[in-house]
Amino acid sequence: MSAAVQDSVAAVRRFTRFYTRAVGVLDRDYLHSSYTVAEGRVLFEIAQNQAGTTAKAVGEITGIDAGYLSRIVGRFERDGVVRRERSTADGRSQLLRLTEHGRQVFAGFDRRSAALVEGLIDHLPPAGRQRLVGALREAQGLLEADEIAPAVLRPNAVGDLGWVVERHAILYSQEYGWSGMESLCARVVADFADAQGSDPAHHRCWIAERAGERLGSVFMVREDETTARLRLLLLEPAARGEGLGKRLVEQCLTFAREAGFQEVVLWTHAKLTAARAIYARAGFQVEEVWTHDDFGQAEVSETWRVKL
């Protein structure tokens, strides 16, 4: 198991431990009920089908073993919570329905469950709740998907340029301890916005996005009559390793050729090894090396260039 996979496994297990503790899954009287978590889950599925459902259908949804499920349903019948009825559509099938007492039991169970979750999120502001819902939806989608949908590269839209500045400042501070990136990127982005407005044929930005989430960026700007400059290549940590950086750089080079440029130049740093590998594979070569301390510490800067 690679280090990256180990980190992912540890993160999922850590969240699982947190959540089971937060909602009291391991409590002896979960939701102040005599029923276990598994029994509560089965009760929920039966309650969702007022017209009745089969034990087989409940088992397929919950993944509970048929023998265990049979014992759960048997307990519900003894408690007067569930009754079995023969299906009018298929005489071989028996439908499970809540009794009147069962509906009262479920209502209390469901009410206490909702109140528990409400207590967990009550301290969050509206924006925080929206972020939580989005994150949960994305996590579920990733875990349920057979494969991750490919990211799309789209032109910049309203709000994207501010995001580029913010993410550059945060990521370079977290990963390299650099300061001053926010002001630098803000100037670059402001210049780009002005230039794109007056000369869109030679100034472009692409945002990598998947399911509405921004994953990365790259800019192409006019340096002079024959030269374009590649700027602000960025990938979110979770989006690295799937060839997205290569796609962004290739998009820039394709645009530069179509726009009539003869070469592309860029500025990078020796410690940005992943980005440098992408540039090298795209045909860029190091042209100049120098040292500066613009980001609060000595760094080796490089100019790279490729002929188109």
For range 275-280, the mean pLDDT: 96
Q: How many residues are recorded in the chain?
A: 308
> What local confidence, expressed as pLDDT, does residue 90 receive?
65
What is the C-alpha to C-alpha distance for residues 86 and 95, in angstroms, rounded to an integer?
A: 6
Per-residue pLDDT reduced to its tens digit, 209-225: 987 889 999 999 999 99
Q: What is the SS3 string spanning 256-296?
A: HHHCCCCEEEEEEECCCHHHHHHHHHCCCEEEEEEEECCCC
> What local confidence, expressed as pLDDT, does residue 31 receive?
83
> What local confidence, expressed as pLDDT, does residue 146 receive?
66
CB-based contacts of 65, cutoff 8 Å, min separation 6: 59
Question: Token pair 């040292």 is at which residue?
Answer: 291
For 115, the token pair is 């109140």
Residue 3 has pLDDT above 80, yes or no: no
Strand partners, 231: 219
Per-residue pLDDT reduced to its tens digit, 284-296: 999 999 999 999 9
* Domains, the chain: 3-123 (1.10.10.10), 152-307 (3.40.630.30)
Helices (H), the chain: 3-22, 37-47, 55-62, 66-78, 100-121, 126-144, 160-176, 181-198, 244-258, 273-281
* Residue 231 binned pLDDT confidence (cut-offs 50, 70, 90): very high
Per-residue pLDDT reduced to its tens digit, 43-98: 999 999 877 888 888 999 999 999 999 999 999 999 999 998 887 666 667 889 99
- Long-range Cβ contacts of 71-75 (<8 Å, 24+ apart): 72/38, 72/39, 72/42, 73/42, 75/39
* Residue 144 binned pLDDT confidence (cut-offs 50, 70, 90): confident
> What local confidence, expressed as pLDDT, does residue 138 receive?
79
* Residue 192 binned pLDDT confidence (cut-offs 50, 70, 90): very high
